[in-house]
Structure 1
Amino acid sequence: MTPHTAQHGAHDVHRHEHDAGDQAEILDLDSEVLAEHIASITAWLPIETSPSRILDLGAGTGAGTLALLERFPEAEVTAVDLSANHLYRLQEKASAAGVADRVRVVRADLDTAQWPELGTPELVWASAAMHHMADPGRALRQVHDLLAPGGLFAVVELAGFPRFLPEDAPEQAPGLEERCHAALGHHDAEQLPHRGADWGSELAKAGFTVEGQRTITVDIGPPHTDAVGRYALSSLRRIRGAGASALAAADLAALDQLLDHDSPHSILRRNDLTVRTERTVWAARRT
Structure 2
Amino acid sequence: MSHPHANATHHDAAHDHQHDRDHQHDRDQAEILELDAEVLAEHIASIAAWLPVTAAPREIVDLGCGTGAGTFALLNHFPGARVTAVDSSVGHLQRLEEKARAVGAAERVRTVQADLDADWPDLGTPDLVWASASMHHMADPDRALRRINEILAPGGLLAVVELAGFPRFLPENAPEDRPGLEERCHAASERRHAEHLPHRGADWGPKLTAAGFTVVGERGVTVDIEGSRDEAVGRYALGSLRRIRGGIAETLAAEDLSALDRLLDTEGPGSILRRDDLAVRTERTVWAARSGT
Band of TM-score, shorter chain: over 0.9
Among residues 261, 269, 275, which one is paired with 1:256 in the alignment?
261
Matched residue, 1:133: 138
- In structure 1, the residue matched to 2:35 is 29
* Secondary structure of the structure 2 residue equivalent to 1:78: strand
User: Which of the residues 266, 272, 278 maps onto 2:277?
Assistant: 272
The correspondence for 2:184, drawn from 165, 179, 183, is 179
1: CA distance between counterparts of 2:171 and 2:253? 20
CA distance in 2, matches of 1:17, 1:118: 27
SS of residue paired to 1:253: helix
Corresponding position of 2:201: 196
Distance 1:262 1:144 in 2: 51
RMSD: 1.3
Superposed, 1:1-287 pairs within 5 Å as 17-112=23-118, 114-287=119-292
Q: Give the Cα–Cα distance (whole angstroms) in 1 for the partners of residues 127 and 23 of structure 2.
A: 30
Output one character per residue of 1:128-177: Cα deviation in whole Å (capped at 9) or x when no partner.
00000000000000000000010000000012210000000001111100
Give the number of equivalent residue pairs: 275
Q: Provide the TM-score with structure 2 as the length reference.
A: 0.92
The question of whether the paired residues in 2 share the 8 Å contact of 1:258 and 1:267 is answered with yes
Give me the identity figure in percent.
68
SS in 2 for 1:187: helix
Q: Indicate conservation of the 8 Å contact 2:227/2:234, yes or no.
A: no
Structure 2 contact 168–279 (Cα < 8 Å) conserved: yes
Segments of structure 1 that go 5 or more residues without pairing to the other structure are 1-11
Query: Whose helix proportion is higher, 1 or 2?
Result: 2
Distance 1:13 1:203, change over 3 A: farther
Maintained 8 Å contact 2:227/2:233: no
More displaced stretch, 86-95 vs 16-25? 16-25
Provide Cα deviations, 1:3-62, integer angstroms capped at 9, x if missing partner. Answer: xxxxxxxxx988754432220000000000000000000010001100000000000000
| 2:204 partner amino acid | W
Shift of 1:212: 0.5
TM-score (norm 1): 0.93
Seen in structure 2, the aligned counterparts of structure 1 residues 31 and 222 have a Cα distance that, compared at 3 Å, is closer
SS in 2 for 1:227: helix
Runs of 4+ aligned residues of structure 1 deviating over 4 Å after TM superposition are: 12-18
